[in-house]
Structure 1
Amino acid sequence: MASSIYHYLKNQHEIACLLPVYELHSGNCTKVIFSNQQELLLKQSIDTVLNSIARYYAIDLKSLRTQQQKRLNCTYYVPLPLAKNLLLFPVKTRIPRIRRDPAYGYVNYFQVKKIDNVKPVIHLNYHKIHCLSCRHTIMKRYHQAQLIDKLQESPQLHHNQSKVIHEEPAMYYSTTTNADYQKLAHRFDMIVEVLLYVLISISQKNE
């Protein structure tokens, strides 16, 4: 079955989400939904499928999780950047029937079009994911993925987080010229992302 997901990845099919499902006569399975509306049902647990995807991209999943935990100061449910177009974040999508069966699916951050303002529903291009997590938790997971995306784009932001937090805000009290505007706007975006990281960390500790 692993070769099936490899085939889709080799043909540049973009994953929209991975969902743990129970199928009659097959038991615990994983449904892979692609951005082009195609679906693939694998008779494997979502953890097995996730490991297969990581192997395809030559990534050690355990090491990746450890790295993300340190970045976000978060122990569980961290986003997983597996490829340029594949950044998975976890959401609860089912109640396990058997102990140790997974309850969480994974959504590709880059495929999210909208998160419902009221209901715990994630809108993709051609699919809706009805989550069992509360909307607050969904938004937190989404913002964690958003932050990881920014850190992937700008490793220096992660390296200099404390410096940005303590030094950059003071710059906005001085007068700036039009020539400085774009540079300041970029730095402001960086500060917002770092503050978001801090708020997520505080929220995680209070849960």
Structure 2
Amino acid sequence: MSTERPRVVVLDYGSGNLRSAVRAVERAGAEVELTGDFETALAADGLVVPGVGAYAACMAGLRAIKGDRLIGRRLAGGRPVLGICVGMQILFARGVEHGVETAGCDEWPGVVERLQAPVVPHMGWNTVEAPADSRLFAGLGTERFYFVHSYGVRSWELVTNGRTTAPLVTWAEHGGDRFVAAVENGPLTATQFHPEKSGDAGAALLRNWIGTLT
């Protein structure tokens, strides 16, 4: 049995808690490189797409390094991608902030919009409702994860054609408003929360994801 650790690229496109993401993925058992180089990221066993701040700014930074094409190329070849926070949001069709609509990567239909809760942003620890057969949340039970966001995907629009496996969608609730907390869809995985800020639970989740790379 090989003891070689999976090679993971944390994508550097000018957004996200890059160093904390690198450290967290390293601690979870991968060899990690922080880069925006297209070919290096394409060849890695796994790609992490972080993201913080405005949807439009993240998409502009991603497109500047052809990151949208990179994600599409990897997924076409069944190569795993993990989006985190706004790095999850940009995987959907579009985002709307302050009345401005921005096109996303369109890997999933759906719109990122402002949460309809009494207190926004949603900041702090929260539980999630994961499907029973989730690999990402395997062994995590009712653990809590750390969220910092004002926008999210509040309805799931994906319709399968009967030939593909339906994505596993994990939900969370803030102030009575339900939103997508994570998605597992073949090689494409994403979380609205920050695993790298979620202590032992986040570390276990990252280990689960890295376990899918081998």
TM-score interval, normalised by the smaller of the two chains: under 0.3
TM-score (norm: length of structure 1): 0.27
Q: Which has the higher strand share?
A: 2
Query: Which structure has the greater CA radius of gyration?
Result: 1
Larger RCO, structure (CA 8 Å, separation 6 or more): 2
